[in-house]
Structure 1
Amino acid sequence: MELEVRHLRVLCAIADAGSLHRAARQLGMSQPSLTTQLRRIENTLGGELFLRERTGCRPTPLGRSVLSRARPLIDGMSALLTETRAAVARGLDDRRLRIGSTASRALAGWLRRLRQRLPDGMDLSLHMNVSANVLLRMVAAGHLDVAFVHEVEGCPLLVPDGLPRRVLVEREPQFISMARDHPAAADPVVDLTDLAEDRWMVDPTVDGEWDGLRRVLAAAGIDPPVLHADYHTAASLIVVGEAIAPCQPTSGPREDMAIRPLRGDPLAVRLLLYRRPGADTEMHALLYAELAAAYREAALRAAPYRQWLLRNKSPLLHAPAA
């Protein structure tokens, strides 16, 4: 087996994700396939690159040495591809807009607004991913024009150099979703300590999600049981009272689920819009303006979030001047 750039990308993905499971999700492959590929790479190099531990994996001294040489090579290759594609795309991509996004209730309204504002015949495509870091790498590589992502408070994203950004919301509180008949659902605002005995559910493949939640729970002095799963699975467990989970404050109403803010808003994210270097700044301004309008619509449509905005006298309550 000869070592190739794609193998170096695999090693960097494992190091960045901190576990084979998360790296496999980000790379779009199964964990057994990734494990097999890692073994082949290690056999080729003649040594173990990662220590497998219960909580994940971390580079060995040999692994750190290999990674220190691999990253500049990957960055150089990415820059070469970006520059080449940009040269080819000039004059060809003015009728194409490629958007990346993590999950957001504002997304549908944003796309609807863009289709109304963009020139006729422009091809608008959407790429969804739970990992903001993956989307940012795609922007840096020229695969996406913009990416709308969230950054968990206390867990900075791995932003490639040179990506321009605009902040949509500096601090968006994260609410809690629970069964409609949960005892805490009787109150308009919930204390973390009232949820100490509940099973919490979190998706560990969302960048920073588990680390951010763990930090907040530890600060509150509680250590509840935690389930790791995607949020589609979480919903089915939440409605029957088997779990609770953090959620976006813009989450829509459901008859079988209650959405409540946490007292003091200990969980929060920052909402950001990144664009590829060299992209049309006027187009980016339009994208940002329509995203801001769509987010405001989604925020005011969600009753618990609207009440939170009123209590906190948020500027989101007031439409920007035309």
Structure 2
Amino acid sequence: MELEVRHLRALCAIADTGSLHRAARQLGVAQPSLSTQLRRIEHELGGALFVRARTGCRPTPLGRLVLSRARPLVAELRSLVSEARAAAVGGRQLRIGSTASRALAGWLRRLRRHWQEPTLHMDVSANALLRMVADGHLDVAFVHEVEGSPLRVPEGLRVRVLVQREPQFVCLPADHPAAAKPVVRLADLAHDRWMIDPTVDGEWDAVRRVLRAEGLDPRILHGDYHTAASLVATGEVVTVVQPTSPSRAETAVRRLHGDPLGVRLLLAARTDTELEGVYPDLAEAYGEVARQAPAYREWLERSGSGALVPALP
């Protein structure tokens, strides 16, 4: 038997689902047929690829080796088909994934100068976006890595750092006593409710770690960025925000004393060529929003970190 792409796709499905039954449903085939196909593949490769147990299927060492080579091939073929179809109807479309960022609008605007309208997939999970790039569902992903919670970067992805450490600021009600100061201490917020998005990879752990280090145990509410912004405006909570976030009539964005929270900003793609094709526009867009955020710009100038922000004069 000669291995074909459909065989590699079947192996990836079994590994991803952890079950022959679920993999068969995903592939749209009968389970007995998939089991037979797996035995033939294993016979061709000379050994068992999965350990079958009542709890599911786990790759053997040989299986992990095969999967490490199969996944990029399957992803590349998927990308080839997608790009060919796009070219057939008028040109390739750039597929972008991103976590939340104020730089996103400017990046998309700049990319339109060189590409057709890019597609955009937003996700709070940086790890999920990186996996989508590795699997060929996205071309590039702009993500943040919370300090202390390293991302799981799939093997083979190319990564370029945009900002090595971006400090995270705090957003509080404009009439909060601490809002009168340019730099806020965590102790100033000891009696406030905090809102954190637990679906953001690493954010909950990082905030909890920082608060505990200060001996603080405030009440924590869970919610997304939009909910947090509205509750800050009504005086209900305080929340962690990106330093590029603007202050508004009802809210104030302030630096945290000692910069205890930080993230690393990364751009990921499958090839260096893809990275280099989009990185300059992202760097320029990020520099633009950094200039527009007074507190962040002042922090950069005082810390001597302006070089970390592209296009910041």
- Tell me if TM exceeds 0.5: yes
* CA apart distance, 1:314: 2.4
Cα distance in 1 between the residues matched to 2:169 and 2:303:
15
Partner residue in 2 for 1:161: 155
Please list every run of 5 or more consecutive structure 2 residues that lacks an aligned counterpart in the other structure.
1-10, 20-52
Match of 1:28 in 2: none
Q: Which residue of 2 aligns with 1:313?
A: 304
CA distance, structure 2, for counterparts of residue 274 and residue 218 of structure 1: 33
Is 2:85 the counterpart of 1:85?
no
Which whole-Å CA distance do the structure 1 matches of 2:130 and 2:80 have between them? 20
Aligned residues: 264
What pairs with 1:218-233 in structure 2 (closer than 5 Å)?
A: 218-233=212-227
Deviation at 1:85, TM superposition (A): 1.9
Partner of 1:97: 94
Question: In structure 2, which of residues 237, 242, 249 is the aligned counterpart of residue 243 of structure 1?
Answer: 237
The 8 Å contact of residues 300 and 317 in structure 1, kept in 2 or not, is answered as no
Contact 2:163/2:308 (CA < 8 Å) preserved in 1?
no
1:293 counterpart = 2:284: yes
RMSD: 3.0
Residue 132 of structure 2 is aligned with which of 124, 132, 138? Answer: 138
Aligned partners of 1:174 and 1:315: how far apart in 2? 16
Q: Which moved more, 1:171-180 or 1:310-319?
A: 310-319
**Match of residue 268, structure 2, among 264, 268, 274:** 274
Residue 107 of structure 1 corresponds to which residue in structure 2? 104
Which residue pairs with 2:173 in the alignment?
179
What is the 5 A alignment of 1:37-116? Answer: 72=64, 78-88=71-81, 95-116=92-113
Residue 36 of structure 1 corresponds to none
Moved more, 286-295 or 76-85: 76-85
Q: Secondary structure at the match of 1:242?
A: coil
3-state SS of paired residue (1:96): coil
Q: 1: distance between equivalents of 2:55 and 2:288?
A: 47
1:309 is aligned with what amino acid? L
**Offset of residue 296 of structure 1:** 0.6
How much identity, in percent, do the aligned residues show? 55
Determine if contact 1:310/1:317 at 8 Å carries over to the other structure. Answer: no
2:290 aligned with 1:302: no
Which string of whole-angstrom CA distances, capped at 9 and with x for unpartnered residues, describes residues 19-60 of structure 1?
xxxxxxxxxxxxxxxxxxxxxxxxxxxxxxxxxxxxxxxxxx
Inter-partner Cα distance in structure 2 for 1:232 and 1:112: 23
In the TM superposition, residue 244 of structure 1 has moved relative to its aligned partner by: 0.4
* Cα distance change of structure 1 residues 10 and 192 upon mapping to structure 2, 3 Å threshold: farther
Deviations 1:204-258 (A, max 9, x none): 0000010111111111121111111111111121112111000000002311100
Cα distance in 1 for partners of 2:119, 2:54 equals 38
Counterpart residue type for residue 100 of structure 1: G
TM-score normalised by the chain length of structure 1: 0.73
Confirm or deny that 1:210 pairs with 2:204: yes
Query: TM-score by structure 2 length?
Result: 0.75
SS in 2 for 1:236: helix
When structure 1 is superposed on structure 2, of 216-225 and 130-139 the one drifting more is: 216-225
One-letter code aligned to 1:253: S
Is the contact between residue 18 and residue 56 of structure 2 (CA under 8 Å) also seen in structure 1?
A: no
Partners of 2:216 and 2:256 lie apart in 1 by 15
The residue aligned with 2:43 is none
In structure 1, list runs of 5 or more residues that go unmatched. 13-61
The alpha-carbon deviation at position 88 of structure 1 amounts to 3.6
The question of whether the paired residues in 2 share the 8 Å contact of 1:144 and 1:276 is answered with: no
